[in-house]
Amino acid sequence: MMKTFVLATENENKVSEFRLALKDTPFKIKSLKDLGLSLDVEEVGTTFEENAILKAKYISKFTKYPVIADDSGLELRALNGFPGINSHRFMEGSTYEEKGAALNEMLAPYSDKGARFVCAIALVGLNQFPDVFVGQVKGKLIEDATGEGGFGYDPFFYIPEKGKTMAELSPEEKNNLSHRAEAIKRFKEFLENL
């Protein structure tokens, strides 16, 4: 039996990643665009988990389907996790190339370039309380943007064991090892055990 979820995002790249990850399952994703909705919610949480729950709860008021929402971002070890939940809002209005250059400038005094992408997925509408699934991928920030794929900070995020940036991975590779892929995998395992 096909089960439909609404994905609370206006980012078409995220919609594509979720659809690709769930393509061989009985789970279908509807986007906000499909339903004529927009995500007009202030992300006032202090963690990725809190912001994902805020978004999912907000959209759940407008649909009968269960809602999933994610919040994700880049954390730099030497900067105590900055930009973290503010990854998207950091230098708002600037390109990600400009943002990546600014973060590299902030990291310049440190030898530690360690970074991680974190993703929290919240599911609202199946259980009494939200269910949350978290994934992460570790790497390091590099100075020169490399690769054409992905989006956001992907061209600056180097994964040593792959010898590539996130932006150099094929969609299939990315859907096997990214922070979102790991969180989606936990989400899928949860659904399969319902």
Q: State the Cα–Cα distance between residues 16 and 20, nearest whole angstrom.
A: 6
Q: State the Cα–Cα distance between residues 42 and 118, nearest whole angstrom.
A: 20
Q: State the Cα–Cα distance between residues 77 and 93, nearest whole angstrom.
A: 25
Residues designated as active site:
71
**CB hemisphere CA count around 96 (13 angstroms):** 17
